Structure 1
Amino acid sequence: NKNKLNITYQNKENARYTKLPIPYEKGWELKINGKKQPVEQADYSFIGFRAQKGENRIELAYYPPYFKPAAAVTLVSLAIACFYIRKRKKPGSK
């Protein structure tokens, strides 16, 4: 679903780590059973993370690096620009 991936994994063998065939890069966010977990690099190029016993509801979301700070700067800049345009006097008006 666009930038998100949901997986249900039954860890019957109590494996300590799980590796997914998804290229690792900055920007991935991981939640397992609703709790935020760190994403690790596995085998030099894939996504890996610690697995939990039993059922694992895995939620992965990808945002390009620095997307959130850049979006915040953009919104603040737009707000300042709108404020400046509204407050600026129009030529020929008193």
Structure 2
Amino acid sequence: MTNTEQQLSSSNPQDLKQSCNELISWILTEYSPTAYMNITGQNNLDFVPDNIYALWYSSKHPSISSIKRPATNTDLVKLHDELLWLNDRLVDAFSNLF
């Protein structure tokens, strides 16, 4: 277990749950397909870069479509880590659009 995992698992589960919910809201607001169309000015998703499409729909790594509400505190820690990973990759992918 990493230091971050230890800190998160020992933190208040409600705080961790709130942090996960905030990250989910942020990701869905800033990096969803609708956000992509607003940013690019496109009215469809025909020309979405493969890396962004994978971050939305992949089943091989964390993606927007794979976000699940956790059942246990251990799941919360895993979800939080996955959300941070996903957010970092979405930031990079979206920053390369222009």
Q: TM-score per shorter chain, which class?
A: under 0.3
Q: Name the one with the larger helix percent.
A: 2
Q: Name the one with the larger strand percent.
A: 1
